[in-house]
């Protein structure tokens, strides 16, 4: 007998591609209910006995902004283990794969590449830019497919989907119309997280908060209707965003703060403008923090927005969609970025004797998760989904045992999320 010389080390590349190819050829990853599946006869026998269970997993589709990383690899392997287990039990098992277009995130990938070439999307024009975007999609998609096959993912490749496929796009449109007709979708002008760079609204979980070095600016607001009962002619306001004072529509104090009970209702001159604003009382104000007085800018702060709604304050938007100051600001500041306007406003306040001090601080600032630009609270006309009716049904399903969490500790997280959900 001829001796066979074995390799000193196992080389998976010599076997994995061939074995994976055989699995695909034999239809091993098809649902057992499919006649082409080698598990079909086993499935039929289980079905006769009333034991033919079903098990389906839709893979979280990776974005075509890049390729798979170690996190994807771990996640895919864990899913594959569970899927293969259910398949070996003779259940009608399906693992669906696909990729996600990722929207503006993919646009940013293309724009970063163009920047290295000294170009912008405007230089290319719409059609050429879309061509580049689709090419990025194709390149990354092809690599992702190869990576998944190298991992040995037992997915049904005949059912692979891209989130902009016509079938899925049609489903999205139909669901949108259905929700609208059921009164669950509405359009309104609300305060949203806005990325001036991307020109789009962001969900709360799309905002990355990082500690940033900044400053607290102390500014004098003068009374417009004469001195206070104690003879004072001005009040001190502290803010990290002095440029937003151009959109102030009130100053607030806590209604239980005895220090200010005699000045609630007085009028104040809004610095650098010809407007006057009221001094109001609202429970939102923390009387123990700072001076116990807060400037209220309803169009550019979520808490101020709620104060404004409660007190019927005017809501003045001072920003353009690109983050520059708009026509609601004095002419000299229009078209400036917030940073440039801030420096000029501090100088102008100083010249008028209305700037008291600058205090260096570290505070949390929200940034766009896609491009890193500072996010602005911004009034925008957007579509919203009414979440409470949907959340109530989801909670009811859990209470009835239709949804089970493993481990059980996640039940508290789920209920807190559902009970505090926002549109």
Look at residue 1 and tell me whether its pLDDT is greater than 70: no
Handedness of CA 21, 22, 25, 27 (dihedral sign): negative
Q: What three-state secondary structure class fits 325?
A: strand
pLDDT per residue over 89-109, tens digit each? 889 999 999 999 998 889 989
What does the block give as tokens for 399? 């209470």
Whole-number Å distance between alpha carbons of 55 and 30 = 12
Whole-number Å distance between alpha carbons of 105 and 111 = 10
310 falls in which pLDDT band (50, 70, 90)? very high
CB 59 within 8 A of CB 29: no
Q: Which helix (H) or strand (E) covers residue 289, if one does? A: none
Q: How many CB atoms lie within 10 A of CB 305?
A: 20
At 13 the pLDDT is 85
Report the chain's mean pLDDT, rounded to a whole number.
94
pLDDT per residue over 198-231, tens digit each? 888 998 889 999 999 999 999 999 999 999 999 9
Look at residue 2 and tell me whether its pLDDT is greater than 80: no
CB 246 within 8 A of CB 330: yes
What does the block give as tokens for 229? 């009962």
For the chain, what percent of residues have pLDDT higher than 90? 82
Q: How far is CA 311 from the centre of its chain?
A: 30
Between 422 and 211, where is the model more confident?
211
Domain boundaries, the chain: 12-164, 205-381, 389-423
* Topology adopted by domain 12-164: Rossmann fold (3.40.50)
What does the block give as tokens for 124? 């290319």
* Topology adopted by domain 205-381: Isoleucyl-tRNA Synthetase; domain 2 (3.90.740)
CB 192 within 8 A of CB 380: yes
Upstream peptide bond of 348 is cis (omega within 30 degrees of 0): no
Whole-number Å distance between alpha carbons of 42 and 45 = 5
pLDDT per residue over 56-86, tens digit each? 999 999 999 999 999 999 999 999 999 999 9
């Amino acid at each position: 007998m001829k001796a066979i010389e074995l390799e000193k080390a196992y080389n998976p590349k010599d076997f994995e591609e061939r074995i994976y190819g055989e699995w695909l050829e034999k239809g091993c990853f098809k649902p057992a209910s499919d006649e082409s599946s080698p598990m079909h006869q086993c499935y039929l026998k289980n079905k006769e006995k009333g034991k033919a269970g079903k098990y389906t997993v839709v893979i979280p589709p990776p974005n075509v902004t890049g390729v798979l990383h170690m996190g994807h690899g771990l996640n895919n392997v864990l899913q594959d283990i569970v899927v293969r287990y259910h398949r070996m039990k003779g259940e009608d098992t399906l693992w669906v794969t696909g990729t996600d277009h990722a929207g503006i995130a993919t646009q940013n990938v293309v724009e970063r590449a163009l920047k290295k070439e000294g170009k912008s999307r405007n230089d290319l024009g719409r059609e050429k830019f879309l061509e580049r975007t689709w090419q990025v999609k194709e390149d990354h998609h092809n690599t992702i497919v190869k990576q998944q096959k190298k991992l040995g993912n037992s997915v049904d490749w005949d059912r692979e989907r891209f989130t902009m496929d016509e079938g899925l796009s049609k489903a999205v449109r139909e669901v949108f119309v259905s929700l609208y007709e059921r009164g669950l979708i509405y359009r309104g002008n609300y305060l949203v997280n806005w990325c001036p760079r991307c020109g789009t609204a962001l969900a709360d979980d799309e905002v990355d908060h990082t500690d940033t070095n900044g400053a607290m600016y102390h500014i004098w607001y003068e009374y417009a209707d004469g001195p206070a009962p104690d003879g004072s002619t001005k009040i001190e306001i502290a803010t990290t965003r002095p440029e937003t004072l151009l959109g102030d529509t009130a100053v607030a104090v806590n209604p239980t703060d005895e220090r200010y009970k005699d000045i609630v209702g007085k009028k104040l001159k809004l610095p650098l403008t010809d407007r006057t604003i009221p001094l109001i009382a609202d429970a939102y104000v923390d009387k123990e923090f700072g001076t116990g007085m807060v400037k209220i800018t309803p169009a550019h702060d979520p808490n101020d927005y709620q104060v404004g709604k409660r007190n019927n304050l005017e809501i003045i938007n001072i920003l353009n969609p690109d983050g520059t100051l708009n026509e609601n600001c004095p002419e000299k500041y229009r078209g400036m970025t917030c940073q440039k306007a801030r420096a000029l406003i501090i100088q102008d306040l100083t010249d008028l004797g209305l700037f008291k001090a600058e205090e260096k601080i570290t505070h949390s600032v929200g940034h766009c998760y896609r491009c890193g630009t500072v996010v602005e609270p911004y009034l925008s006309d957007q579509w919203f989904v009414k979440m409470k009716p949907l959340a109530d049904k989801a909670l009811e399903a859990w209470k009835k045992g239709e949804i089970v969490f493993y481990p059980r500790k996640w039940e508290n997280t789920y209920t807190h999320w559902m009970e505090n959900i926002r549109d």
